[in-house]
Chains A and B, each alone.
Chain A
Amino acid sequence: MAAKIDQTQVKKVAKLSRLDLTETEAAEFTGQLSAILEYMEKMNELDTTNVQPLAHCLPISNVFREDAVKESLGTEKTLANAPQRDGEFFKVPKILDEI
């Protein structure tokens, strides 16, 4: 049986996940993820045609908060864990592309 996922796909997923993988890791993950995905095939033994997907196991809806202002952290506390800051801003290498 062909592998469920190949190294090219693994690298694509790693890119999507923003994870730099070494070649060794990519190879290792390819084998492991393939085995895991192979196991997942088990689910296809079940006919779920008329089954609703269950995203929440609680049957609750409409949970809201009142539109009331609460104190923010303030700039200093907001930036307290920042790896790098520039004045009152978080600092990152130059962003060249627009989203």
Chain B
Amino acid sequence: MGELRYRVVVGLEIHVQLCTKSKMFCGCALSFGEEANSRVCPVCLGMPGVLPVMNEQALEYAVLVALALDCKIAEFTKWDRKSYYYPDLPKNYQISQYDLPLGSGGFIEIPLEAGRTKRIGIIRAHLEEDAGKNLHTAGNFSQVDLNRAGTPLLEIVTEPDMSSAAEVRTLAVELQRMVRYLGVSEADMQKGHMRFEPNINLIITKDGVEYKTPIVEVKNLNSFRVLERSVDVEEQRQLDEFLETGEVMGMGNKTTRGWDDINQVTVLQREKEEAPDYRYFPDPDLVPVEFKCEWLEDIRSRLCELPIKRQIRFVDEYKLSDYDAGVLTAERSTAEFFERVVAAGGKPKRVCNLLTQVGLKLANEKGCSVAELDITPKDFAQVSNDVDGGILSASGANKAIELKAQDPDKPFSVIYEENNLIQKSDVGELEQIVEQVIVDNPKAVEDVTSGGKKSKKAQSFLLGQVMQKTKGQANPKVVSEILDRKLG
């Protein structure tokens, strides 16, 4: 057997549920696991005689994402009917956009290692209505719940620009971060707010000849983990299949496979067959949409700095590590709160530590954002500066924030006082304690003064003794200085 090289090529089809209050074409509230068929009206049930009316907010949310993806926004777009029969689709057609998607020709930048990024092309972004759900029971029948039917759904199709499972995952995470930043989707994969369907194939070079394996679309991926895993699994499966059958990409041999989480494999769902005939045609019940300049500008003005841009800026501007900048920019509210604390006078690195070590922990416990902890940016800035000024230790600062969160009305002066958080920096007072420690630990003193290997360890030991005697309140910096002076 000759030389064989291959690379995986992945494009994604992504569906994002938009978090409007009401459904796309009717006034039913979006569903969050209520009783089945309780959020259904004649319109989303597809009853005789009903007509859809477009939810403006859904359209604006979709445009916002398309703009964030740097798509060209169509001046004129329309709604088309896509026909297929399925029990979760009450009208047996889906209102979608066919030949004039609202956005096309964009890209998304995804972070790679070491602060590098990669552009993934976006072919199109269009709006459509979600279907309901078919539930498969143990019996010989299925159940249909239409609560989800009519939920606004943004479909995004990428170019096949991803060349590893890791990149696929990174794109998914980045897109989730983006739509959450824009406030247009809750983007929870487990809950199906975001659904990723990778189209995967391999480009194999064997004996100097290039082969492309048939494209496989994978469905039922409900976490970033399985999304990533499915690409790896498919990569190996396609390689094995190619080596066995030699089948290459051709007309109509694209297949759909479902993810089997128990066995960690993909399972064939739809056999190669002729492409379904969806009979798209313009929906006569809905009028076209024209994006006039002012309207687009108004939507554009609601665009915020995107997470990846912000992450890069945080590294540049605040000299944070890429990791820290990533943590701070994961949620828009955290990133914005961080900048407000810095604006209130906190030093970036210190503020970052406070927010990541204690702020996010508290927010997570309470199930809110850091901005909602009842601790103001000014409070955070004060604590941060008190650490820098030697008034608080790092752990004292964390403690102070925790206590403030419990009792937001209590001033820090009282919190510090009541909990003995203020560090002792009085040289006179500390000198006495240091002297006592020197007297009590002659062996360690000797190790320090004699220099050599044990010197550093012994000095730490003495410092620890002072901290113990002061119940942790001594300012370690001042104590070290005194020790240096006395033993140096």
Contact of A56 among B45, B145, B284 (CB under 8 A): B284
Q: Are A94 and B27 in contact (CB under 8 A)?
A: no
Pair A91/B53 contact, Cβ less than 8 Å: no
Residue A2 lies at the interface, judged by CB distance under 8 Å to chain B? no
**Are A95 and B28 CB-contacts (below 8 A) given A75-B37, A88-B36, A89-B36?**
no
Closest to B87 in A: A92
Pick the residue among B38, B85, B287 that contacts A60 (CB under 8 A): B287
The interface residues of chain A lying within 8 Å CB-to-CB of B22 are 67-70
CB distance from A95 to the nearest CB of B (A): 4
Which parts of B90-121 form the interface with A (CB within 8 Å)?
A: none
Q: What are the interface flags for B38-62 relative to A under an 8 Å C-beta threshold, 1 for contact and 0 otherwise?
A: 1111100100000001111111000
Q: List 16 A-B contacts (CB under 8 A).
A: A64-B54, A65-B56, A67-B55, A67-B58, A70-B26, A73-B41, A75-B36, A78-B37, A78-B146, A87-B36, A89-B145, A90-B143, A90-B146, A95-B134, A95-B142, A98-B219
Q: Which residue of B lies closest to A74 (CB)?
A: B38
Give the complex CA separation of A92 and B137 in angstroms: 11
Q: Smallest distance from the beta carbon of A65 to chain B beta carbons, Å?
A: 4
- Assuming the A-B contacts A63-B53, A72-B38, A79-B37, are A93 and B141 also in contact, with contact meaning beta carbons closer than 8 angstroms in the complex? yes
Contact A78 B143 (CB under 8 A): no
The binding surface of chain B is classed by DSSP as: loop
- Nearest CB of chain A from residue B262's CB, rounded to whole Å: 17
Contacts of B29 in A (CB 8 A): 69, 72
Residues in chain A near residue B55, CB distance under 8 A: 64-65, 67
Bound state CA distance, A86 and B78, in angstroms? 38
Interface size class of A (residues with CB under 8 A): 35 or more
Q: Given A61-B287, A65-B54, are A78 and B40 also a contact pair (CB < 8 Å)? A: yes
With A72-B41, A92-B144, A94-B140 already in contact, the answer to whether A64 and B59 are too (CB < 8 A) is yes
Question: Is A99 on the interface with B (CB-CB < 8 A)?
Answer: yes
A-facing residues in B424-469 (Cβ within 8 Å): none
A8 on the B face (CB < 8 A): no
Complex: A89 Cα to B134 Cα, angstroms: 10
- A63 and B287 contact, Cβ closer than 8 Å, known pairs A78-B45, A89-B145, A94-B141: yes
Most buried by B among A60, A68, A99: A99
The answer on a CB contact under 8 Å between A62 and B143 is no
- The complex places the Cα of A72 from the Cα of B142 at a distance, in Å, of 24
CB-contacts of B125-161 with A (<8 A): 134-137, 139-146
Chain B residue numbers with a CB within 8 Å of A64 are 53-56, 59
Closest residue of B by beta carbon distance from A93: B141
B225 within 8 A of A: no
- A91 touching B143 by the CB < 8 A rule? yes
The reply to whether the CB of A43 lies closer than 8 angstroms to some CB of chain B is no
The chain B residue with its CB closest to the CB of A81 is: B47
**Contact among B41, B142, B277 for A16, CB-based, below 8 A:** B277
Chain A positions within 8 Å of B39 at CB level: 72
Answer yes or no: A25 CB below 8 A from chain B CBs. no
Verify if A42 is at the interface (C-beta below 8 Å from B).
no
Q: Which residue of A has the minimal Cβ distance to B61?
A: A67
B54 touches A97 (CB 8 A): no
| Interchain CB contact under 8 A, B40 and A73 | yes
Contacts of A71 in B (CB 8 A): 27, 41
* Residue in chain A with minimal CB distance to B42: A73
- Contact A65 to B144, CB < 8 A, known contacts A70-B22, A70-B41, A89-B36: no
Q: A61-B287, A68-B22, A89-B144 are in contact. List 11 more A-B contacts (CB 8 A).
A: A55-B78, A61-B76, A63-B53, A64-B54, A67-B57, A69-B28, A70-B26, A72-B39, A73-B45, A92-B141, A97-B269
